Amino acid sequence: MTIEAATKNEIVGRGNRDGAQLFRDWFAELGQTAEKGEQSAYVFVMGSMNEILKTFDLPVVFPEINSLQTAVRRVAGDFLSEAEDYGYSPDICGYVKADVSVQLRGGEHPMGRIPKPTIAVLTNACNTYVKWAEIWERMHGCPMFTLDVPGTREAGTQTWPGDQDFENDRRYVQKQTKELIALCEQVTGKKFDIDKFREILGHANSMSVGWKRVIEANKATPAPFNALTDGTIFLGVANGFRGTKEGADYFNDLVEEMEYKAANGIGALAEEIYRLVFIGVPCYPIFRRFNELFSEWGGSFINSTYLWFASGGSNLGFEYDLDKPLESFAEGTLISVRDAMDSMFHQSQMLVDMVDDYSVDGIVYHPIKSCRTVSTGLADSRSYFASKKDIPSLFVESDMMDSREISEAQMKNRIDAFFEGLASRKQQAAIAGKED
Amino acid sequence: MSVFNEWRGQPLEEIMYHCRELVEDTTFPTIKRWREQGGKVLGHFQVYFPEELAHAAGMMPVKMCGTMLEPNNADSHFGSYLCSIIKTSLEAALAGGIELDIFVSHPICDAARNLAAIFGRNFDYPCQILYLPQNPNSSDSVNWLADEYGRMRRLIEKVVGHEVTDTAIAASIEVFNENRSLMRELYDLKRETPWLVTADEAYVLVAIAGMIPREEHNELLAAVLPMLRDRETRQEDRIRVVFEGAFCEQPPLDLIRMLGRTCYVVDDDFLIGMRYILEDVPVTSNPLLSLSESYIERSSYSPVQHDNRKPKEEMLLQRIKKSRADAAIVAAAKMCEPGLEEQVAYIYMLDEENIPYFVSEFEENMSSFDQLELQIETFLENILFA
């Protein structure tokens, strides 16, 4: 084997391998925490506050990730039914219901045992977070802390440091951050260690910078990773290991892998024909198959709003100022979580801005029954985007958890028709090119 | 400017007729009349908005809480699996019935928090989110909300083209304090002597506040309340019921009328945002802070606000006890996620407290109630003859 081949073998695919291992390690640790009856914090992907919780050595549980795992492992149906028997409507978020079942089963989950929450920490980035945490509050009597992050009031009116409105919001977020720290001190019995916090912020900085570079690596043709499938693995690490050395190292390696692949023309797909952007939340009950419906036509997902909002806005690459850790943490939380919200409610302008950079051929909108936060505005957003850019799009509805809401045959028909349209468009462009 | 005069000089039954007609009129005549006289309009989506800010600027604050319109224009702007109110609220604006100068919504739920962005992509006027604290327990929430109200004041000033002074806001607070007081009287009447005011009458008397200037509404209530008290309706042997679940989307008036026929609805959360501040707002030299403090410290509850001091099931229990209700109707609008989630907590609490309850879903555009009426009558008879 040549040195080049050895390097390629070592680097290519490392992100997926290491990500899967980190995931197993994480769930093994959570299992041990549950067995020992030790403390844990329940958090969410959009503003996990991992930096603060890790300062108190609190293991973090992401119930959204636990729930999607039941769908990927094709056991979600049992979990959903159990919660519906308990009283929850078929018309509410499937993530919530799968988690209710996990709680009713004493933490039993296909990936191991999930500890009970000592504290629930959430932001307002999704309103269901609040209702969900209220369920734990009632079931377990744990305190819940909502860190209220004011978002963009109107498209294009975001404010920035120095602006009075921004400073008001920053003051509010910073005050709440201090209140969260006080609550953590009370719950854990530990004093807040500002130096440890600073070290954790440093790891989070490495990860954010890395995440931004990884996403940007997909400007290359062919795109080095699939935003839908590979991206979900990367997101898992970005959330579970935020603020840790393992997380920072992982993203340093991932940047190396993606930039290596980009430089060497190694794509996620052997033959990339169409470069697609995915808007929404993946179809986890048929996760692999859903992607195949696109990849079989040579369609590669090169970016997604999911990579933005489900990382809590880390895609911006915001770096905390370690000399002003608390002030900077409040500022970073405000800017990043706000961006996560923007990518759900105001993504049309973001798409307009990125399609040229990423050489996008088509947009796939995937609204889902379970998540109204992400899905409510997509039809309108699609119309707006169509009025600004001449890029074809597909609108296909299903769910992220509930296979009862998914018709694979119907989905395939629509996806096939979409690609036929894309093919015809490419042909016409080629003919027009020749004529010129 | 006066926009609703049909009721003046009329006997009570005629007044109630005109009020019902106005609430069900999907052409929004009072808003049109206001605009014809040169008035500007701020439309605000459910649940609560500090209407004093618009009022002080000379605008008419209009409650956007859905309509009976079919969402023929709005449907294509939304996906499936959504509540009706967000579609019909957009429909009211798209179809031209409600012409606005500002639209404001709040991140009350996952669907509604998209509304400002959707309106913004379809209309040229400002369409904004007003953030109301989701962490009212933070020691900074009152000050921060006052700042947020200040931001909203600046937006309103830009639209009306003149300053909105503290003095003007304080004067508006006084108008609204009178209104709050009259609404409390109405609800006291409903709670203590429910045979004097039916559920649908009380509902339309509150709903009209969202579609006419508040001074006019004060005049209306001040005239109607004594008439209601003077009614000679006799008390009947009916079950006293609390209706819970209408904090956002409203049940159709016919459904409320049906309830009024079958039981005494002694308290409810119909249009709770119009009655959200429970006491007078102090008139001070810092009116924004007064409004903010009243919202955080002296307000009602709903499934879309978490406050450690107000566990919802405990608040419902208080509502039931305070109104001496025999039972509860725990409803939710179809596809209303917070309402459906809260139902579960309510049901477990009611079971624990051994309070009879009836669980139901509704939609603002539903038109057939025969089966529901039969079910509710059976439920009430079971209590009556238990």
Q: Supply the DSSP string of A365-423, one letter for each residue.
A: EE-BSS-HHHHTTHHHHHHHHHHH----EEE--B-SS-GGG--HHHHHHHHHHHHHHHH
Write down the pTM of the prediction.
0.96
Amino acid A229 reads: T
- Which two structure tokens, joined as six digits, stand for A10? 């070592």
- Residue recorded with tokens 């405990």: B314
The pLDDT, as a whole number, for residue B49 is 98
Amino acid A258 reads: M
Please indicate if any CB of chain A lies within 8 Å of the CB of B116.
yes
Burial group, residue B159, by CB count within 10 angstroms (0-12, 13-18, 19+): middle
Neighbours of A388 (CB within 10 A): 12
pLDDT digits (tens, 9 = 90+) for A128-138: 999 999 999 99
Burial group, residue A110, by CB count within 10 angstroms (0-12, 13-18, 19+): middle
Query: Among partner residues A92, A145, A375, which is closest to B79 by beta-carbon distance?
Result: A375
Residues of chain B with pLDDT under 70: none
Query: What stretch of H or E contains B60?
Result: strand B60-64
Query: How does DSSP classify residue A279?
Result: E
Please indicate if any CB of chain B lies within 8 Å of the CB of A377.
yes
- pLDDT over threshold 80, residue A6: no
β-pairing verdict for A108-109 and A112-113: antiparallel
Please indicate if any CB of chain A lies within 8 Å of the CB of B81.
yes
Residues 148-167 of chain A with CB under 8 A from chain B are 148, 150-155, 165
Q: Supply the DSSP string of B267-328, one letter for each residue.
A: EE-TTGGGG-B-SPPP--S-HHHHHHHHHHHSB---TT---TT--HHHHHHHHHHHTT-SEE
The candidate with the shortest Cα–Cα distance to B340, out of B322, B361, B354, is B361
Contacts of A91 (CB under 8 A, 6+ apart): A369, B81, B334, B335, B337, B340
Across A91-108, average pLDDT: 97
Cβ within 8 Å, pair B78-A379: yes
Can you tell me the distance from the alpha carbon of B223 to that of B14, in angstroms, rounded to the nearest whole number? Answer: 13
Contacts of A1 (CB under 8 A, 6+ apart): A9
With b meaning 16 or more CB within 10 Å and e meaning fewer, what string describes B104-129? bbbbbbbbbbbbbbbbbbbeebbbbb
pLDDT digits (tens, 9 = 90+) for A140-157: 999 999 999 999 999 999
Contacts of A373 (CB under 8 A, 6+ apart): A125, A126, A127, A128, A344, B110, B113, B114
Please indicate if any CB of chain A lies within 8 Å of the CB of B158.
no
Scanning every residue of chain B, which has its alpha carbon at the shortest distance from the alpha carbon of A348?
B121
The candidate with the shortest Cα–Cα distance to A110, out of A71, A55, A81, is A71
Chain B residues touching A381 at Cβ < 8 A: 117, 121
pLDDT digits (tens, 9 = 90+) for A338-396: 999 999 999 998 899 899 999 999 999 999 999 999 999 999 999 999 999 999 999 99
Across A27-33, average pLDDT: 97
Please indicate if any CB of chain B lies within 8 Å of the CB of A90.
no
The pLDDT, as a whole number, for residue A1 is 64
Q: What distance in Å separates residue A261's CA from the closest CA in chain B?
A: 38
The candidate with the shortest Cα–Cα distance to A147, out of A263, A292, A46, A31, is A46
Q: pLDDT-derived band of residue A9, with 50, 70 and 90 as boundaries?
A: confident
Across A317-344, average pLDDT: 97
Can you tell me the distance from the alpha carbon of A51 to that of A174, in angstroms, rounded to the nearest whole number? Answer: 14
Please indicate if any CB of chain A lies within 8 Å of the CB of B142.
no
Scanning every residue of chain A, which has its alpha carbon at the shortest distance from the alpha carbon of B130?
A153
Q: What distance in Å separates residue B285's CA from the closest CA in chain A?
A: 21
The candidate with the shortest Cα–Cα distance to B383, out of B346, B357, B344, is B357
Contacts of A150 (CB under 8 A, 6+ apart): A169, A172, A173, A334, A338, B131, B148
Q: How many CA atoms lie within 13 A of B313 on its CB side?
A: 18
- pLDDT over threshold 80, residue A434: no
Across A89-103, average pLDDT: 97
Cβ within 8 Å, pair A131-B341: yes
Please indicate if any CB of chain B lies within 8 Å of the CB of A388.
no
Scanning every residue of chain B, which has its alpha carbon at the shortest distance from the alpha carbon of A374?
B110
pLDDT digits (tens, 9 = 90+) for B176-220: 999 999 999 999 999 999 999 999 999 999 999 999 999 999 999
The pLDDT, as a whole number, for residue A432 is 84
Can you tell me the distance from the alpha carbon of A264 to that of A266, in angstroms, rounded to the nearest whole number? Answer: 6
Q: pLDDT-derived band of residue A4, with 50, 70 and 90 as boundaries?
A: confident
Query: Among partner residues A86, A154, A169, which is closest to B128 by beta-carbon distance?
Result: A154
Q: In Å, how far are A129, B125, B337 from A144, measured between CA atoms?
A: 11, 38, 20
Residue among A166, A375, A380, A405 with most chain B CBs within 10 A, to mutate: A380
The pLDDT, as a whole number, for residue B1 is 80
Q: Sign (positive/negative) of CA torsion B296, B302, B308, B312?
A: positive
Residues 2-31 of chain B with CB under 8 A from chain A are none
Residue among A131, A334, A366, A373 with most chain B CBs within 10 A, to mutate: A131
Between A245 and A436, whose confidence is greater?
A245
For the CA atoms of B17, B20, B26, B27, the dihedral, rounded to the nearest 10 degrees, stands at 50
The candidate with the shortest Cα–Cα distance to A93, out of A375, A389, A385, is A375
Contact (CB, 8 A) for A306 and A282: yes
Residues 265-294 of chain B with CB under 8 A from chain A are none
A and B: number of Cβ contacts within 8 A: 158
Contact (CB, 8 A) for B97 and B66: no
The pLDDT, as a whole number, for residue B362 is 96
- Which two structure tokens, joined as six digits, stand for A153? 């009031």
Query: Among partner residues A126, A168, A179, which is closest to B110 by beta-carbon distance?
Result: A126
Contact (CB, 8 A) for A295 and A269: yes
- pLDDT over threshold 70, residue A436: no
Provide the β-strand partners of residue A122: A146
To the nearest whole number, what is the mean pLDDT of chain B?
97
Chain A residues touching B341 at Cβ < 8 A: 88, 92, 96, 128, 131, 134-135
Please give the distance of CA B323 from its chain centroid, rounded to a whole number.
Answer: 19
Query: Among partner residues B81, B138, B151, which is closest to A175 by beta-carbon distance?
Result: B138
Q: How far apart are the first and last CA of chain A?
A: 47
To the nearest whole number, what is the mean pLDDT of chain A?
96
Contacts of A163 (CB under 8 A, 6+ apart): none
Please indicate if any CB of chain B lies within 8 Å of the CB of A221.
no
Can you tell me the distance from the alpha carbon of B271 to that of B235, in angstroms, rounded to the nearest whole number? Answer: 26
Query: Among partner residues A134, A153, A168, which is closest to B147 by beta-carbon distance?
Result: A168
